[in-house]
């Protein structure tokens, strides 16, 4: 028998969703069978799959051990514990990711990622205990390319993650970047709207002028801050958040980002000795509603180096 006491991160979800996470090896057919046979109980009674769990509820499962998840592993001791924290409270972290560090593990298999470092940091602080969690782990709410530096939000609990993911989907978190581009845009301020299509096998994104089944709408606003004719400093605000969006859009208008080896000009990159793109996610503004768990963030802006 396994017993699970519902904590604040597990509360609010349907019982069947929690059970699938607690016992990932349990097929749906057996899940429903065990519930009918009262081998899965909620607070000592038959468990209804649609019941919303509350903090303090107790689920007991009288089922074979083979169906349960393996015990969570402790933080990898080889992962560096250093992270650059721009802002932290009991619900979120805002981190300044360095260029060259992936946000999540990718095909290279490297264990050292931003989320691994953030998780280790929270474990070391005692704010995250894997053994106490069944369905939640700290999670990043936005992503940056490996060679793009800048601000990334990490949720410390399930409710914060839900709120932030919804805010990002509804464009209530404004993300602004600074970049150095080759040349000067014809219009010093404007909006770029195209359709972008990612080819997975190439890890490359292509601009489509008309909508295709595989493409997604991409909208980027930009403003030239300064230029010497050969290079320009540009502020960019994302309306949508597609893979490689800024890099592709700036190349599309004839002003690729300096140092970008995929979409840029390698002759200029070599001349300026740049091997990674000059692109930084430098500002986040929270336009979320003032109520709810994260209501205190409403109207706040965080920048690399300061906040307001």
Q: Annotated catalytic residue: which of 145, 260, 291, 306? A: 145
* Gap between the Cα atoms of 113 and 126, Å rounded: 20
3-state secondary structure the chain: CEEEECCCCCCCCEHHHHHHHHCCCCCHHHHHHHHHCCCEEECCEECCCCCECCCCCEEEECCCHHHCCCCCCCCCCCCCCCCCEEEECCCEEEEEECCCCCCCCCCCCCCCCHHHHHHHHHHHHCCCCHHHCCCCCCEECCCCCCCCEEEEEEECCHHHHHHHHHHHHCCCEEEEEEEEEECCCCCCEEEEEEEEEEECCCCEEEEECCCCCCCEEEEEEEEEEEECCCEEEEEEEECCCCCCHHHHHHHHCCCCECCCCCCCCHHHHHHCCCCCCCEEEEEEEECCCCCCCCHHHCCCEEECCEEC
Reply yes or no on whether 57 is catalytic: no
Residues labelled as active-site residues: 145
């Amino acid at each position: 028998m396994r017993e699970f006491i519902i904590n604040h991160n597990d509360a609010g979800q349907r019982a069947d969703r929690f059970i699938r996470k607690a016992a990932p090896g349990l097929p749906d057919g057996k899940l429903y069978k065990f519930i009918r046979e009262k081998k899965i109980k909620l607070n000592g009674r038959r468990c209804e799959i649609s019941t919303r769990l509350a903090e303090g509820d107790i689920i007991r499962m009288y089922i074979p051990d083979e169906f349960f998840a393996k015990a969570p592993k402790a933080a990898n001791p080889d992962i560096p514990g250093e992270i650059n924290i721009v802002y932290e409270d009991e619900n979120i972290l805002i981190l300044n990711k360095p260029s060259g560090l992936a946000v999540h593990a990718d095909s290279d298999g490297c264990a050292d990622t931003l989320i691994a470092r953030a998780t280790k940091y929270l474990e070391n602080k005692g704010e995250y205990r894997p053994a106490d969690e069944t369905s939640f782990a700290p999670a990043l709410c936005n992503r940056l390319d490996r060679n793009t530096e800048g601000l990334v939000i990490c949720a410390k609990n399930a409710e914060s993650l839900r709120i932030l993911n919804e805010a990002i989907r509804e464009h209530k978190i404004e993300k602004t970047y600074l970049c150095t581009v080759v040349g000067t845009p014809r219009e010093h301020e404007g909006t770029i709207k195209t359709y972008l299509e990612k080819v997975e096998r190439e890890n490359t994104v292509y601009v489509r002028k008309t909508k295709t089944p595989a493409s997604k709408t991409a909208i980027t606003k930009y403003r030239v801050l300064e230029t010497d004719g050969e290079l320009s400093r540009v502020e960019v605000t994302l309306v949508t958040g597609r893979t490689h969006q800024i890099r592709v859009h700036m190349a599309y208008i004839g002003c690729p980002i300096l140092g970008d080896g995929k979409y840029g000009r390698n002759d200029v990159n070599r001349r300026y000795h740049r091997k990674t793109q000059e692109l930084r996610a430098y500002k986040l503004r929270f336009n979320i509603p003032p109520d709810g768990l994260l209501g205190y963030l409403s109207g706040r802006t965080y920048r690399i180096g300061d906040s307001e």
